[in-house]
Amino acid sequence: MAARKQFLQVRPTDPALKALLDAAKGKKVTEAELNEQRVSFAFGNAPVSDFITKDSVRASSQSILIAG
């Protein structure tokens, strides 16, 4: 039970964090930002290799089509 004690109390909201979250709610993600997130995800999940770089993942993402 001691391990769960931290969840029994409601912590006050950080006003700076709340302001940032509220500002992010209305932001529209551009196609370029979404593509960069895909590249970052693929690079982060790739095996460690000297041949796989963010630039190589970015180049591959331009030639691979996603069927939908």
pTM over 0.85: no
State the total domains in the chain: 1
44: in domain: yes
- Supply the range of the domain harboring residue 67: 30-68
pLDDT digits (tens, 9 = 90+) for 5-51: 777 788 888 999 999 999 999 899 999 999 999 999 999 999 999 99
In-domain check, residue 25? no
22 lies in a domain? no
The angle, 0 to 180 degrees and rounded to 10, between the axes of the packed helices 31-45 and 54-63 is 120
Give the integer Cα–Cα distance in Å for 45 and 62.
18
Closest CA to 40 of 32, 29, 28: 32
